[in-house]
């Protein structure tokens, strides 16, 4: 939109051992499995309007060829050698076990389910032999070490060069730089780049070895670019991006991928020579799903395609995720947060402003934009928003940019409120109404452009409602003229609200219906500490006349202190059963009149599935403080 020559490349990494393991478990071939996932992933991206210039797969011929050539070139330059190694072998399965086929405890953090290549908990790269109590991922038996031969990449040769390069990247995020320098400081070790597997890119000149995925998959960025260049009929154009030093390569990844993209991949590129190193790696922190880290292998997440079956609008989710981008800390996604963002921001701020403006334009001006000037204040804030949001996006401050777009919508609402066009209509001051609606329409039209990178579908919808020429996604990143703007159809609201039922349904689908989810920040421990819990003996208990639920209790709190408490447990307990019980009393509540009786406390109880359970403390004296 700024007029730069940009391509957006991605693809599925299909050779990983997780795929092989999963295929084995399902009794199908790895190819069948990855065909299924490729389609599913691609459909999900399409449905969310994530529009890559090319979305490739590492199982394609163009990638196999590119990866083999890359290997041969690096080998020719002396950075690949063959070495005898000991490798985990499962005597039960009668096979060598590559990295992920071995599981065990992490030697650094103790995490029980660390894999032989990496610990999901602390992010360290591991060797299968590092694991404590290793086990075969296929059968669970303890593997043994056996001799075999593998190719190695001389990562150690790039220690100094990488350190210099990383230190020179002053524009990187400090967390990425620090992570890398810490890693390099520990000393870079040569790494095996081949494995004894069937499924993968065959090692040139070897029968039963394939390239290790960590070595072969990133080369997929180059293959995908080549594939794109072929598709557009300019087969050499990929070189502009990978070989012209003026081009800038950006890797969008999460923090667990930093070692591969900021150390190992650059070392491979240096070994090969002639290719650009990454220019920027704006690694994000994690999105946590309702308290647990999202994980494809552990099947914990919200699947794009399933979301699209239940919610008609991908922008609900895009907005929630973008406004919470985990740029500097993890974001814990909850369905309540989703509901809040959609209802109070998309609906009440953006949707409301666009809708009321277009309704006025249609109703009082027959949809035709009233002629006249755009006020200086409005023109200025629109221009400033373009400048600042553009800068934010270029600096990978994605959520800061989106917040500014929403602030413009907020400004629009305030402008509308201040202009009170509904009163102008009543008084017949149509000149004044025209001024307000013209300026608001200008903001609406420009919001469409500003939203294009964030909420592509919403942006298109606004654009279409305004009958502007062409497509919003062809627009340039600058304030647009709104000459010829016309609303012909009755404006429809852009969004709808998310109901409590939907929130509940989604939580049930995640298996969370029994739990009350509380965000850590909302538990105010200091407040909680103020609650005085005491043991009290029930001396008297009787039902309050005319009620089924209320029981009047006289409770002894020790040292001669007695309390009257009205408790709503009459439908579950008989008064006589309570006498003599030692209950837990909230002793420092303000007294409250219930049915004409002053209740001087509450009793502590737990509820599950509509049944109430009183908490008792039979071994404590009355008045004892619960700590």
Q: Which stretch binds Zn ion (CB under 5 A): 129-137, 238-246, 387-395, 503-511?
A: 129-137
Q: Which is nearer to Zn ion, 199 or 386 (CB)?
A: 199
Closest distance to Zn ion from the beta carbon of 105 (Å): 9
Selected from 9, 136, 263, 434, the binder of Zn ion by CB under 5 A is 136
Token couple for 530: 């103020």
In 331-461, beta strands by DSSP E: 331-333
138 contacts Zn ion (rule: CB under 5 A): yes
Q: Which is nearer to Zn ion, 179 or 386 (CB)?
A: 179
349 phi, psi to nearest 5 deg: -100, -65
Q: Which stretch binds Zn ion (CB under 5 A): 32-40, 134-142, 481-489, 615-623?
A: 134-142
Closest distance to Zn ion from the beta carbon of 110 (Å): 7
Q: Which is nearer to Zn ion, 132 or 139 (CB)?
A: 139
Q: How far apart are CA 162 and CA 77, in angstroms?
A: 18
Q: Which is nearer to Zn ion, 37 or 108 (CB)?
A: 108
Closest distance to Zn ion from the beta carbon of 99 (Å): 14
Q: Which is nearer to Zn ion, 93 or 294 (CB)?
A: 93
Closest distance to Zn ion from the beta carbon of 101 (Å): 8
Q: Which stretch binds Zn ion (CB under 5 A): 121-129, 192-200, 485-493, 539-547?
A: 121-129
Closest distance to Zn ion from the beta carbon of 265 (Å): 22
Closest distance to Zn ion from the beta carbon of 186 (Å): 14
Closest distance to Zn ion from the beta carbon of 128 (Å): 13
498 phi, psi to nearest 5 deg: -90, 130
Q: Which is nearer to Zn ion, 27 or 273 (CB)?
A: 27
Closest distance to Zn ion from the beta carbon of 139 (Å): 3
122 contacts Zn ion (rule: CB under 5 A): yes
Window 140-159: contact mask with Zn ion (x via CB under 5 A): -x------------------
Selected from 6, 28, 132, 139, the binder of Zn ion by CB under 5 A is 139
Closest distance to Zn ion from the beta carbon of 126 (Å): 8
Enumerate residues 6+ apart whose C-beta is below 8 A from 416: 353, 356, 357, 436, 440
Q: Which is nearer to Zn ion, 125 or 586 (CB)?
A: 125
Kind of pairing, strands 605-608 and 611-614?
antiparallel
Q: How far is CA 605 from CA 104, 230, 612, 613, 614, in A?
A: 42, 69, 7, 5, 4
Site for Zn ion in 444-473 (CB under 5 A): none
Buried b (16+ CB within 10 A) or exposed e, 318-330: bbbbbbbbbbeee
Closest distance to Zn ion from the beta carbon of 87 (Å): 14
Q: Which is nearer to Zn ion, 186 or 576 (CB)?
A: 186
Closest distance to Zn ion from the beta carbon of 90 (Å): 3
Enumerate residues 6+ apart whose C-beta is below 8 A from 227: 54, 56, 60, 62
Q: Which is nearer to Zn ion, 124 or 318 (CB)?
A: 124
Q: Which is nearer to Zn ion, 114 or 382 (CB)?
A: 114
First to last CA, the chain: 61
Burial of 405 (0-12, 13-18, 19+ CB in 10 A): buried
Q: Which stretch binds Zn ion (CB under 5 A): 131-139, 248-256, 442-450, 513-521?
A: 131-139
519 phi, psi to nearest 5 deg: -75, 145
Token couple for 281: 């790696």
Q: Which is nearer to Zn ion, 98 or 536 (CB)?
A: 98
Window 76-115: contact mask with Zn ion (x via CB under 5 A): --------------x-xx------------x-xx-x----
Closest distance to Zn ion from the beta carbon of 64 (Å): 29
Q: Which is nearer to Zn ion, 10 or 119 (CB)?
A: 119
232 contacts Zn ion (rule: CB under 5 A): no
Closest distance to Zn ion from the beta carbon of 151 (Å): 25
541 contacts Zn ion (rule: CB under 5 A): no
Contact 541, 551 (CB under 8 A): yes
Contact 591, 605 (CB under 8 A): no
Q: How far apart are CA 403 and CA 395, in angstroms?
A: 15
119 contacts Zn ion (rule: CB under 5 A): yes
Q: Which is nearer to Zn ion, 143 or 401 (CB)?
A: 143
Token couple for 384: 């400033």
267 contacts Zn ion (rule: CB under 5 A): no
Which residue shows structure tokens 């070595």?
A: 215
Instruction: Name the nearest CA neighbour of 99 among 132, 128, 134.
Output: 128
Sign of CA dihedral 557, 560, 564, 570: positive
Q: Which stretch binds Zn ion (CB under 5 A): 119-127, 285-293, 441-449, 572-580?
A: 119-127
Q: How far apart are CA 59 and CA 251, in angstroms?
A: 21
Instruction: Name the nearest CA neighbour of 387 among 372, 408, 373.
Output: 408
Closest distance to Zn ion from the beta carbon of 111 (Å): 4
Q: How far apart are CA 131 and CA 109, in angstroms?
A: 11
Q: Which is nearer to Zn ion, 121 or 129 (CB)?
A: 121
**In this structure, which long-range contacts are made by residues 539-546, counting pairs with CB atoms below 8 Å and at least 24 apart in sequence?**
539/579, 540/579, 541/575, 541/576, 541/578, 541/579, 542/575, 543/570, 543/575, 544/570, 544/595, 544/597
Closest distance to Zn ion from the beta carbon of 312 (Å): 41
Output the CA angle 389-246-9, nearest 5 degrees: 65
Q: Which is nearer to Zn ion, 196 or 337 (CB)?
A: 196
Question: Site for Zn ion (CB under 5 A): how many residues?
Answer: 14
Q: How far apart are CA 179 and CA 176, in angstroms?
A: 5
Q: How far apart are CA 466 and CA 486, in angstroms?
A: 5
121 contacts Zn ion (rule: CB under 5 A): yes
Compute, in degrees rounded to 10, the torsion defined by CA atoms 165, 170, 174, 177. Answer: 0
Q: List interacting residues with Zn ion (CB under 5 A).
A: 90, 92-93, 106, 108-109, 111, 119, 121-122, 136, 138-139, 141
């Amino acid at each position: 939109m700024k007029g730069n020559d940009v391509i957006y490349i991605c693809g599925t990494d299909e050779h990983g051992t997780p795929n092989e393991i999963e295929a084995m478990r399902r009794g199908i071939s790895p190819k069948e499995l990855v065909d299924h996932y490729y389609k599913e992933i691609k459909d999900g991206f399409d449905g969310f309007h994530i529009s890559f210039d090319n979305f490739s797969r590492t199982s394609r011929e163009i990638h196999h060829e590119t990866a083999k050539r890359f290997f041969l070139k690096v080998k020719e330059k002396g950075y690949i050698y063959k070495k005898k190694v000991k490798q985990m072998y499962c005597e039960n399965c009668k096979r060598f076990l590559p990295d992920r086929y071995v599981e065990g405890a992490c030697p650094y953090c103790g995490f029980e389910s660390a894999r032989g290549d990496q610990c999901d908990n602390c992010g360290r790269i591991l060797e299968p032999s590092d694991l404590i109590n290793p086990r075969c991922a296929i059968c669970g038996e303890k593997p043994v070490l056996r001799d075999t031969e593998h190719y190695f990449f001389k990562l150690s040769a790039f220690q100094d060069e990488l350190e210099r390069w990383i230190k020179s990247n002053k524009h990187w995020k400090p967390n990425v730089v620090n992570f890398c320098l810490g890693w390099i400081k520990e000393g870079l070790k040569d790494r095996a780049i081949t494995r004894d597997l069937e499924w993968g890119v065959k090692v040139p000149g070897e029968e039963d070895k394939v390239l290790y995925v960590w070595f072969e998959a990133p080369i997929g960025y180059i293959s995908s670019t080549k594939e794109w260049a072929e598709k557009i009929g300019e087969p050499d154009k990929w070189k502009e991006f990978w070989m012209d030093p003026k081009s800038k390569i950006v890797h969008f990844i999460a923090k667990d991928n930093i070692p591969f993209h900021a150390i190992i991949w650059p070392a491979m590129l240096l070994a090969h020579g002639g290719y650009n190193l990454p220019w920027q790696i704006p690694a994000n922190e994690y999105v946590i799903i309702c308290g647990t880290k999202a994980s494809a292998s552990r099947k914990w997440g919200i699947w794009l395609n399933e979301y699209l079956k239940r919610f008609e609008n991908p922008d609900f989710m895009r907005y929630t995720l973008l406004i919470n981008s985990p740029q500097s800390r993890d974001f814990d996604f909850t369905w309540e947060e989703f509901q809040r963002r959609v209802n109070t921001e998309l609906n009440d701020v953006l949707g409301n402003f666009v809708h009321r403006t277009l309704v006025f334009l249609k109703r009082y001006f027959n949809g035709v934009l009233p002629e006249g000037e755009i006020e200086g204040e409005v023109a200025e804030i629109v221009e400033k928003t373009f400048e600042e949001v553009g800068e934010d996006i270029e600096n990978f401050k994605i959520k800061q940019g989106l917040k500014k777009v929403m602030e413009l919508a907020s400004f629009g609402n305030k402008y509308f409120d201040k202009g009170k066009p509904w009163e102008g209509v009543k008084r017949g001051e149509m000149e004044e109404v025209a001024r307000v609606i013209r300026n608001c329409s200008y903001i609406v039209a420009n919001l469409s452009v500003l939203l294009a990178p964030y909420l592509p579908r919403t942006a298109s919808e606004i654009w279409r409602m305004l009958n502007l020429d062409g497509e919003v996604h062809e627009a340039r990143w600058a304030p647009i003229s709104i000459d010829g703007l016309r609303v012909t159809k009755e404006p429809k609201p852009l969004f709808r609200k998310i109901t409590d039922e939907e929130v509940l349904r989604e939580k049930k689908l995640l298996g969370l219906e029994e739990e009350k989810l509380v965000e850590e920040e909302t538990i105010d421990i200091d407040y909680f500490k103020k609650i005085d819990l005491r043991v009290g003996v029930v001396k008297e208990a009787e039902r309050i006349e005319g009620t089924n639920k209320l029981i009047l209790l006289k409770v002894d709190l020790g040292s001669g202190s007695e309390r009257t408490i009205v408790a709503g447990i009459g439908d579950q307990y008989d008064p006589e059963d309570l006498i003599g019980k030692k209950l837990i009393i909230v002793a420092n509540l303000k007294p409250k009149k219930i049915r004409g009786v002053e209740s001087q406390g509450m009793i502590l109880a737990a509820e599950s599935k509509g049944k109430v359970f009183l908490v008792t403390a039979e071994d404590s004296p009355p008045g004892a403080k619960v700590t």
